[in-house]
Structure 1
Amino acid sequence: MSQQISVSAFLISRIKELGVQHVFGIPGDYVLPFFDELIKEGSPVKQIGTCNELNAAYLADGYSRVKGFGVAAVTYGPGAFNAVNAVAGAFDAHVPLLLVSGAPQTARYREGKKLLLHHAVGSDLNATIRVFTPITAAAARIETAEEAIPTIDWLLRVALDQKRPVYLEIPFDMQRAEVQVPGRLNYQPPSSDEQALRKVVERVAHAVNSAGKVGVLVGVFVDRDGLQQVVEDMLTTSRLPFATTFDQKAGYLEYLPNCVGFYQGGVTPQPVLDATEGADILLTLGMPRTEFNLGFLTHDFKEDRMIELGHDTANVMGEEVHGVYLRHLVPLLAQRISPRAEEVFEDTFPFTYTKQREVPENRPELCTLLRHNLNFLLIILNNAGYTAERAIHPDRDDSYNDIHVWNYHLLPQALGGRQDSNGVDAHTEAQFVDALSSYRGKGLQVVNARLDKNDMPSFFIEMSDMLKH
């Protein structure tokens, strides 16, 4: 006789296959069976409780950026609605994650408008799933046990293929419904069209190798497609000058001597513009054309000299080729690009890494850190308000941009931490340096770095001028 497991247990086993070890979220009446399964002894995935559902979804987002996939679990209605902003942000930033929501029993959906339920939007039981439909790659509800396996597998594949969040609504009774134990998901990413792939690699390699001056912009899909090391190796070997972008502030690359700085359209330092917009060929790696990446559309790209390698599409100097994936293009291209002569580039960073840094592990919020006894140094750059908004409307008594300056360094103790877990209030550079050097990696310490509210980077001032016009 075939083995049976609950839909909840099956879902947990599936996300474990994807490397997920933690699910962030808050239990509620309609999702309790799933949480019961999640906290069972021997569960392969650990539940991490958070202060609210929005934090849970943001944690799943951060977890995905580091681990490749994230999961949050909430209850129906208000619980799910509270996670909307984080899910929408993940959609915009191409972050694959799964939001699991409980829901009323399947019989309630069949009753239609005959019964009003708490947490529902009036008598509309479909309101929650409709809210998530435009901000996810896919949204679905499991209405029968037979639908469970194909629906869950489909959603996971969509999230991984499109690098975007998906929403799964599981009615209370379906969370306990039993299904036959299936085989593994055996997820295989979409394959590139081999003929198109060879064509693009050949054309790009020839264009780059024959051009006198080539610049590179590194975009967000380098991380989403797990190409950090491949791209780093390619840039190191080729010695091509490159810049990081708004949605890919790639600190792990900025230590390289051929990193010319940070590209931000018209407010970019001139040496960075010379190396990118001024190049004979500008190669972008996984960089979406968003207003932030392009300095609110103040860029000056020469389209006939552009090579854009996107997540699943390449544009080579105006010719668009579909069905070729960045994860296949970059490794092949790295083998074909000829190394450039060594060149000294001007350092345009106020602060520059001097050695390669490990990609940081994702960490919870403050009280969660204390609850799990994690060692953590939290630095708060505190200018008592909102810098960008002050720049947009300068020289005004705009008190709505100011916030009260609390004694943030006392937060650990206020939230139940040890007496020795308090941090320091740093008013000067010397105090800030002392605070950093005094941390010994034990417990939680907060450094409240006090800044002058009127002292803002020139970037914000220049950007505010552009926004006005």
Structure 2
Amino acid sequence: MASELEHPVDVAQYLFTRLYQLGIRTVQGVPGDYNLVALDYLPKAGLKWVGNCNELNAGYSADAYARVKGISAMVTTFGVGELSALNAIAGAYSEHVPLVHIVGQPSTASQRDGMLLHHTLGNGDYYVFADISAKLSICNVRITDPHRAPSLIDHALRQCWVESRPVYIALPTDMVQQKIDGKKLAQPIDLDPPPNDPAKEEYVVDVVLRYLQAAKNPVILVDAGAARHDALDVVHELIQKSGLPTFVAPMGRGAVDETLPNFGGVYAGNGSNEGVTDRVESADLILSIGPLKSDFNTTGFSYRTSKLNTINFDTDHVEVRYSLYTNIRMRGVLEKVIQRMGTWNVHPERILTTRVSPQLHGIHTDSSEITHSWLWPTVGSWLQEGDIVITETGTANFGIWETRFPKGVTAISQVLWGSIGYSVGACLGATLAAREVGNRRVILFVGDGSFQMTAQEVSTMIRQGLNPIIFVICNDGYTIERYIHGWDDEYNDIQTWHHGSLVQAFGASSQSRYKTYQAKTKAELHSLFTSPEFSGSSVFQLVEIFMPRDDAPIALKLTAEAAASRNAAA
């Protein structure tokens, strides 16, 4: 292949080959007349095209694909397509997800002449949509000169990877087939983050070690930033070498091996697992790794920790108490801290305060209705090593706090951006990625209201022959909204769907390709969880779980109460 790349290649061939080199194997999106010729190059670069039902769902799907594979790409068309995707792109930006958004644009000549083309605003402004995306991407490039195309593409992809945020690449129709030098493809893109200033890094390491050595009961708190910025290996080394009690924030789920003896549970302020709040908030030093202290991640800002007792390690800075050290990446600091920390005046303790679910076969089940307090600990006994678990904003997002994960579980949720319907599109992307990395089980928990937002992407899962397990929580509407405001108001109601019938309506023609179930009691759901056929099935499965309308996880109730109070504040 190297010799072939020494010859001139088309711009689209260069771009898609670079995506392949970054580990991407599937590109998603919606075709449009400004991107059709570019799409012809996907198979030439070894990439598979998966068309989505709409651009918003494609963005959600690409977001989850990136969370599993490390980076993703999607293609939309100019104007109508790219705007439809922007809600998903904004979510990826806010939650630090590396997503490459490629937009097929009208030709450079059409743009220069201000032609009155379809998908424009009719005012000759061809920059307006790219300008909007510039606010939601870490890098925004337009390919208008073939000579500059390789450097622009490489720069954008490097920024996407290193900064772990979306980038925007505009590809006009007349640039797709322009010839450029292919020699550069033989040289991989430099994906190493910029190094820390050695002297500054040394100083920060010394400061951290000084506080760590003086601490009597320190703890580690891991959040989303650890998972998003390729630091999990060094974080795990710190956890295991130190033996310190370790906790995760809700957005940090999946970033820590929860089977480790020093794992203590989920810390989210008032919504924490039993015993966790006291242990974290009584610590005289908190090593906070990748913090993201949003309202839904902290049960309505209910953290009671002091900056005087906290060291925050983030992507590009470290904050020690009230001192901020900018342009210092946490990875380099943590690596040196691990090398030098030795032992100190702390006896590592075994702390398992998270409620551990009993074995499934020993769970008391009866014909009573399914409740959140029963469901989520029970789910922990059913999960397997390596599962990918997706939870929707609402009851599932908060309920999963009570689930203990086996080793290697990846948790996907959109706690900060919180766009309802995200999880169904995310289920598609995660399952596509799982198929590429070894057929890990993908499990989705989504409420009936959220499911209605993006349900059509189930048809894409069926068309692709994917086999996720989808649990639709049927509790008659928008439960999280009810707890915030308008308990019995019409705006929180939805039309009841027969979810099992949708699978056939979406094109699953043979019952050998899918299975649907209903669970209205604990006993019925327990029988599914203990069924080897259900747990190991290779076909698409959908389960309707019927739950009381007024039941919700305690953490959701507390967060909703805090949100309602803030909304009503003068």
TM bracket (short chain)? over 0.9
Is the contact between residue 286 and residue 308 of structure 1 (CA under 8 Å) also seen in structure 2?
yes
Superposed counterparts of 1:430-445, under 5 Å: 430-436=523-529, 437=531, 438-439=533-534, 440-445=536-541
Taking the aligned partners of 1:205 and 1:380, their CA distance within structure 2 comes to 48
The residue aligned with 2:416 is none
Q: 1:381 to 1:236 in 2, by over 3 A?
A: farther
Taking the aligned partners of 1:251 and 1:110, their CA distance within structure 2 comes to 48
Shift in Å at residue 273 of structure 1? 2.2
Correspondent of 2:93 among 87, 91, 94: 91
Question: Could you give the per-residue CA deviations for residues 279-308 of structure 1, whole angstroms, max 9, x where no partner exists?
Answer: 101110011343333433332221122100
The residue aligned with 2:177 is 176
Superposed counterparts of 1:2-13, under 5 Å: 3-13=7-17
Correspondence 1:190 to 2:199: no
Shift in Å at residue 34 of structure 1? 0.9
Superposed counterparts of 1:131-170, under 5 Å: 131-170=132-171
Correspondence 1:342 to 2:349: yes
Taking the aligned partners of 1:332 and 1:441, their CA distance within structure 2 comes to 45
Q: 1:104 to 1:88 in 2, by over 3 A?
A: same
Correspondence 1:447 to 2:543: yes
Shift in Å at residue 252 of structure 1? 4.8
SS of residue in 2 equivalent to 1:363: helix
Is the contact between residue 376 and residue 441 of structure 1 (CA under 8 Å) also seen in structure 2?
no
Is the contact between residue 244 and residue 349 of structure 2 (CA under 8 Å) also seen in structure 1?
no
Taking the aligned partners of 1:317 and 1:164, their CA distance within structure 2 comes to 28
Correspondent of 2:430 among 358, 362, 376: 362
Q: Which runs of 5+ in 1 are unaligned?
A: none
Q: 1:16 to 1:39 in 2, by over 3 A?
A: closer
Give TM-score scaled by structure 2 length. Answer: 0.77
The residue aligned with 1:378 is 470
Taking the aligned partners of 1:371 and 1:354, their CA distance within structure 2 comes to 31
Is the contact between residue 238 and residue 340 of structure 1 (CA under 8 Å) also seen in structure 2?
no
Shift in Å at residue 242 of structure 1? 2.4
The residue aligned with 2:109 is 107
Q: 1:375 to 1:289 in 2, by over 3 A?
A: closer
SS of residue in 1 equivalent to 2:252: coil
Is the contact between residue 222 and residue 231 of structure 1 (CA under 8 Å) also seen in structure 2?
yes
Is the contact between residue 384 and residue 405 of structure 1 (CA under 8 Å) also seen in structure 2?
yes
Correspondent of 2:25 among 21, 34, 48: 21
Taking the aligned partners of 2:488 and 2:466, their CA distance within structure 1 comes to 41
Superposed counterparts of 1:61-460, under 5 Å: 61-112=63-114, 115-123=115-123, 124-183=125-184, 184-187=187-190, 188-250=192-254, 252-268=256-272, 271-337=275-341, 338=343, 340-348=347-355, 351=377, 352-353=403-404, 355-359=406-410, 362-363=430-431, 365-393=457-485, 396-417=487-508, 418-420=510-512, 421-436=514-529, 437=531, 438-439=533-534, 440-460=536-556
Question: Could you give the per-residue CA deviations for residues 101-151 of structure 1, whole angstroms, max 9, x where no partner exists?
Answer: 000110012113xx2110112222112101101111121211121221121
Is the contact between residue 424 and residue 446 of structure 1 (CA under 8 Å) also seen in structure 2?
yes
Give TM-score scaled by structure 1 length. Answer: 0.92
Is the contact between residue 260 and residue 348 of structure 1 (CA under 8 Å) also seen in structure 2?
no
Q: 1:240 to 1:372 in 2, by over 3 A?
A: same
Question: Could you give the per-residue CA deviations for residues 312-356 of structure 1, whole angstroms, max 9, x where no partner exists?
Answer: 100112221122212222333333443733334422576243631
Taking the aligned partners of 2:250 and 2:183, their CA distance within structure 1 comes to 42
Taking the aligned partners of 1:140 and 1:346, their CA distance within structure 2 comes to 49
Shift in Å at residue 17 of structure 1? 1.6
SS of residue in 2 equivalent to 1:422: strand
Shift in Å at residue 251 of structure 1? 6.7
Taking the aligned partners of 2:229 and 2:132, their CA distance within structure 1 comes to 28
Taking the aligned partners of 1:99 and 1:219, their CA distance within structure 2 comes to 26
Count of residues in Structure 1 that have an aligned counterpart in Structure 2: 464
Shift in Å at residue 259 of structure 1? 2.7
After TM superposition, the runs of 4+ consecutive aligned structure 1 residues lying more than 4 A away are none
Is the contact between residue 263 and residue 293 of structure 1 (CA under 8 Å) also seen in structure 2?
no
Question: Equivalent pairs: percent with the same residue?
Answer: 31
Is the contact between residue 245 and residue 349 of structure 2 (CA under 8 Å) also seen in structure 1?
no
Taking the aligned partners of 2:506 and 2:183, their CA distance within structure 1 comes to 45
Q: CA RMSD in A?
A: 2.2
Is the contact between residue 252 and residue 358 of structure 1 (CA under 8 Å) also seen in structure 2?
no
Taking the aligned partners of 2:100 and 2:526, their CA distance within structure 1 comes to 41
SS of residue in 2 equivalent to 1:30: coil
Shift in Å at residue 270 of structure 1? 6.4
SS of residue in 2 equivalent to 1:33: helix
Taking the aligned partners of 1:120 and 1:237, their CA distance within structure 2 comes to 58
The AA in structure 2 aligned to 1:413 is Q
Greater shift in the superposed pair: 237-246 or 29-38: 237-246
SS of residue in 2 equivalent to 1:55: helix
Q: 1:70 to 1:4 in 2, by over 3 A?
A: same
Is the contact between residue 227 and residue 255 of structure 2 (CA under 8 Å) also seen in structure 1?
no
The AA in structure 2 aligned to 1:353 is R
Q: 1:297 to 1:358 in 2, by over 3 A?
A: closer
Shift in Å at residue 21 of structure 1? 1.1
Is the contact between residue 409 and residue 446 of structure 1 (CA under 8 Å) also seen in structure 2?
yes
Taking the aligned partners of 2:555 and 2:490, their CA distance within structure 1 comes to 22
Shift in Å at residue 94 of structure 1? 0.8
Shift in Å at residue 266 of structure 1? 4.0
Taking the aligned partners of 2:467 and 2:292, their CA distance within structure 1 comes to 36
SS of residue in 1 equivalent to 2:100: strand
Is the contact between residue 295 and residue 559 of structure 2 (CA under 8 Å) also seen in structure 1?
no
Question: Could you give the per-residue CA deviations for residues 60-116 of structure 1, whole angstroms, max 9, x where no partner exists?
Answer: 11111111111000111111111000100011001111100000110012113xx21
Shift in Å at residue 15 of structure 1? 1.2
Taking the aligned partners of 2:310 and 2:181, their CA distance within structure 1 comes to 52
Is the contact between residue 412 and residue 444 of structure 1 (CA under 8 Å) also seen in structure 2?
no
The AA in structure 2 aligned to 1:49 is G
Is the contact between residue 226 and residue 255 of structure 2 (CA under 8 Å) also seen in structure 1?
no
Q: Which runs of 5+ in 2 are unaligned?
A: 357-375, 378-402, 412-428, 433-456, 566-570
